[in-house]
């Protein structure tokens, strides 16, 4: 059973709370009685959260001034509330073949998904150690299973998994627990936003690259849409994240959604080549018909 609110009221910090899973998590934690500091990018993003009893704070996790302001807010809390948890949810998506995703896009993914997460965690760890709080890092199914077309994003989430393992062992002697949450498909806008640059990426591919990856880049939007449609709602995901925050003896990892649970489980014991065939077969269902049914090569489509 999840441990509910302890007294006195504690602070939970949720990053990336402008919309989707982060906003739903902020509302869920407030509903459970925590004082939630919700990181948003714009004042307008925070207006809807105010009605749910959430305190929005302007936070770009790649901005050191924003991080410093949040730390000052925590340390100067007028009620001297302890920090129960930091939920590192902020992140950006990305898609495209490894060869053609620009190196600057790779850097941006890591800057937000990895380095921003590390920077904020470093800044708040003194408070978390004092309160014996908890770090909850939102990873992804792609943090355990990487597949064609998702290499850049998956690489950043594999890094989140690795830093979480190290942090868990480093902080265990001091009573700070580190938990990873691995969502599969979640019905939010994030997936759609991650595809925004894919058409531009396709347009900039050389003829040789198009021959290699043309069908793949056409398949990704359909694959993402199907995966998202089959996923859980943001509110369902938020309840699982809340368990990661409040369970008295949390697991080291929680998965969200049946597909994530299945794929992560089988990835532990299936040979790499078998897992490759599974993920490739799933992707090929979304290839253009003339490629899917073998009437043309991957680079020649109508």
Q: Is position 213 annotated as part of the catalytic site?
A: no
DSSP per-residue letters across 28-56: HHHHTT-EEEEEESSHHHHHHHHTTT-EE
Which residue out of 150, 153, 213, 287 is catalytically annotated? 153
Three-class DSSP category at 87: strand
- Classify the C-alpha dihedral 59-174-160-88 as positive or negative: negative
155 touches 139 (CB < 8 A): no
Strand order across the 253-256 sheet? 55-58, 35-40, 11-14, 83-88, 134-138, 177-183, 253-256
The neighbour count for residue 206, using CB atoms within 10 Å, is 10
Radius of gyration of the chain (CA): 20
137 touches 252 (CB < 8 A): no
143 touches 275 (CB < 8 A): no
- Residues with a catalytic annotation lie at 153
């Amino acid at each position: 059973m999840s441990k509910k609110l302890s007294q006195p009221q504690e602070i939970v910090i949720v990053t990336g709370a402008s919309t989707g899973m982060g906003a739903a998590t902020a509302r869920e934690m407030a509903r459970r009685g925590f004082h939630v500091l919700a990181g948003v990018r714009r004042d307008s993003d925070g207006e809807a959260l105010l009605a749910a009893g959430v305190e929005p704070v302007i936070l770009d996790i790649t901005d050191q001034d924003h991080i410093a302001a949040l730390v000052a807010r925590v340390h100067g809390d007028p009620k001297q509330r302890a920090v129960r948890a930091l939920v590192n949810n902020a992140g950006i998506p990305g898609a495209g073949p490894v060869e053609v995703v620009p190196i600057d896009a790779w850097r941006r993914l890591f800057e937000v998904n990895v380095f921003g997460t590390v920077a904020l965690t470093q800044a708040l760890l003194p408070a978390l150690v004092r309160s014996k709080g908890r770090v909850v890092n939102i990873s992804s199914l792609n943090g355990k299973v990487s597949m064609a077309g998702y290499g850049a994003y998956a690489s950043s989430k594999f890094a989140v998994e690795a830093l979480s393992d190290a942090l868990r062992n480093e902080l265990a002697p001091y009573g700070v627990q580190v938990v990873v949450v691995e969502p599969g498909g979640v019905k939010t806008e994030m997936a759609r936003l991650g595809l925004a640059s894919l058409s531009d990426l396709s347009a900039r591919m050389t003829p040789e690259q198009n021959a290699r990856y043309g069908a793949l880049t056409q398949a990704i939007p359909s694959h993402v849409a199907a995966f998202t449609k089959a996923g859980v709602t943001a509110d369902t995901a938020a309840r699982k994240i809340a368990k990661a925050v409040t369970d008295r003896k949390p697991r080291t990892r929680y998965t969200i959604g049946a597909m994530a649970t299945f794929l992560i489980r089988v990835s532990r014991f299936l040979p790499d080549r078998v897992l490759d065939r599974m993920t490739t077969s799933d992707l090929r269902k979304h290839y253009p018909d003339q490629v899917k049914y073998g009437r043309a090569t991957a680079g020649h489509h109508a």
